[in-house]
Chain A
Amino acid sequence: MHPHVEMESTRSAVLEAGLRFWGWEIPVYLFLGGLVAGLMLTVCAVIILRGREGVTQAMRLGLLGAPVLLSLGMGALFLDLALKLNVFRFYLTLRPYAPMSLGSWVLMLVYPVQALLVIALPWAPLERVMGRFPWLAKLRAFAQGQVDRLAWAGLLAGFALGIYTGVLLSTTVAAPLWSSGVLGFLFLASGLSTGVAALMLVEKDHASQTLLAKADVVLIGLELLLLGGWIVGLATQGPVYREAVSVLISGPYAPVFIGFVIFGGLLVPGALETLSLQGRAKHSRTVPSLVLMGGLLLRFVVVYAGQEVTFYQA
């Protein structure tokens, strides 16, 4: 760590030595960030396309759980900071071209949008609280008048958050495996898929369950295409990139990447959801659980495997 630097991640001290600099905290944060982005995008898309009446109890629950999940993710990110007391400095400046600075502000934008959407949508337990807090009732009246605008803001914030989780890696210049513009879209698609899967876990309404399953099948297909594009794009760039990709395709992380992420986390749940939509397999909550497991492992594999080959070593 350089003595004049006041705010940095733990990676800085070991970056030049070519050692692993990110542990479990970053993949967990990236997973939870993507999951929250997926929840927001899904619920906001439903509000825009089907109106607030289209939002089911499970979606409301997802919206309510989103800030909790995001806070857990930010907690993991906080643990990764080398100088924890300086965290407030993220919010003393805004640098539009610095991903971490921009991401910090996106995270701050997500909370109020989620909170306003939660109180704007009809929800029985909230009705009881309203009577006790008149200011909350006023805020609710305001939010209810702005539901469409809030949904669009949520869509924008969810998109920014989802894509940021991948951009954070792709702008970290140390690793050739992460040096791809596809990573942002891959993590966005994966985050959307895990958000939809999380809703499928709690959804009881049959029509919504079918809608979510259809969306997830499309997202899994998109994710597979983006994974292919990311790998092929890197493999055709040069020897260092090929070496980085080989860690994932034939190296130490290949069994987990191919076995658990692609097969267990995408192909199997994708096939089961397709069969379930055709009426040839029963719907089960185990299937979205596999999608969530695959999404988490994807982040772990990408973050860990990316640190195996760096430009500094090459």
Chain B
Amino acid sequence: MEDTSKSTNLDGAPKPHWDPYLSGVALGLVLLATFLIFGRGLGASGAITRTTAWVTSWFAPTWVANNGHLGGYFAPGAHWWDDWLVFEVVGVLLGGLFGGLTSGRMKVEVEGGPRIKPRTRLVLSVVGGLIVGFGARLAMGCTSGQALTGGATLALGSWAFMMAVFGGAYGLSYFVRRLWT
């Protein structure tokens, strides 16, 4: 009997990624929608900072309340989730899960160059993530908040940030190229 189901062979090769140009246009439309609906653009590091402040407040509430950078999140009656960025980040995770499961790409793996061990890759990722996180707070935004959102409003500082990010990445890549080849 002929199989008339619409099912795809998810056990075989994963579905191809979306076209990068189309994805770029889609991301631009998402950004536009966030301005229209929430009155502000995309961001990611802000949600991490808010979550960090929230978790830290469980153990050191007085320190967090008195901290100039984190204390502002805890005005009377305020909640950890009083920022749409928290929901955006959770939505990114859910969207990633949805995409991974429907395209046959959901698996546990550590991506890296052929010569690098997973453990080294993870350690370097954490170190890199810490530096990026620190830099993002210094710059008052990350690639989402500064480059995407600020760049879309033609903010000069955001374009300078974007150039610095790409320039810094190209400059550093010469020294770490063996990690990926």
Kindly state the separation between the CA atoms of A194 and B8 in the bound complex, as whole angstroms. 29
Kindly state the separation between the CA atoms of A276 and B84 in the bound complex, as whole angstroms. 30
Q: In the complex, which residue of chain B has the Cβ closest to the Cβ of A268?
A: B94
Kindly state the separation between the CA atoms of A281 and B14 in the bound complex, as whole angstroms. 11
- Size of chain B's interface in residues, with CB distance under 8 A? 22
User: Contact check: which of A252, A271, A280 meets B6 at CB < 8 Å?
Assistant: A280
Given A252-B79, A255-B81, A280-B6, are A286 and B90 neighbors across the interface (CB < 8 Å)?
Answer: no
Q: Spell out B's residues near A (CB within 8 Å).
A: 5-8, 10, 77, 79, 81-82, 84, 86-87, 90-91, 94, 97-98, 100-102, 104, 106
User: 1/0 per position for A248-286, CB-CB distance to B under 8 A?
Assistant: 000010011001100110001001100110111110101
**A256–B101 CB distance below 8 A:** no
When distances are taken between beta carbons in the complex, the residues of chain B under 8 Å from A282 are 10, 100-102, 104, 106
User: Contact check: which of A264, A275, A278, A279 meets B90 at CB < 8 Å?
Assistant: A264
Q: In the complex, which residue of chain B has the Cβ closest to the Cβ of A277?
A: B7
Q: In the complex, which residue of chain B has the Cβ closest to the Cβ of A254?
A: B81
Can you spell out 21 A-B residue pairs with CB atoms less than 8 angstroms apart? A252-B79, A255-B84, A255-B86, A263-B94, A264-B90, A264-B94, A268-B94, A268-B98, A275-B101, A275-B102, A279-B5, A279-B7, A280-B6, A280-B10, A280-B102, A281-B101, A282-B10, A282-B101, A282-B102, A286-B97, A287-B97
When distances are taken between beta carbons in the complex, the residues of chain B under 8 Å from A290 are 94
Interface of A is mostly: helix
Kindly state the separation between the CA atoms of A233 and B87 in the bound complex, as whole angstroms. 28
Measured CB to CB, the closest approach of chain B to A183, in angstroms, equals: 24
When distances are taken between beta carbons in the complex, the residues of chain A under 8 Å from B94 are 263-264, 268, 290
**A279–B8 CB distance below 8 A:** yes
User: Contact check: which of B5, B81, B82, B97 meets A284 at CB < 8 Å?
Assistant: B97
Counting contact residues on chain A (CB < 8 A from B), the size range is: 20 to 34
- Within A29-56, which residues are at the interface with B (CB < 8 Å)? none
Q: In the complex, which residue of chain B has the Cβ closest to the Cβ of A259?
A: B87
Kindly state the separation between the CA atoms of A281 and B98 in the bound complex, as whole angstroms. 8
User: 1/0 per position for A95-108, CB-CB distance to B under 8 A?
Assistant: 00000000000000
Task: Give the 6 A-B CB pairs with smallest separation, nearest first.
Answer: A279-B7, A281-B101, A281-B102, A259-B87, A282-B101, A282-B10
Q: In the complex, which residue of chain A has the Cβ closest to the Cβ of B97?
A: A286
When distances are taken between beta carbons in the complex, the residues of chain A under 8 Å from B79 are 252
- Within A279-309, which residues are at the interface with B (CB < 8 Å)? 279-282, 284, 286-287, 290
When distances are taken between beta carbons in the complex, the residues of chain B under 8 Å from A263 are 94
Measured CB to CB, the closest approach of chain A to B81, in angstroms, equals: 5
Q: In the complex, which residue of chain B has the Cβ closest to the Cβ of A260?
A: B90
Kindly state the separation between the CA atoms of A55 and B47 in the bound complex, as whole angstroms. 44
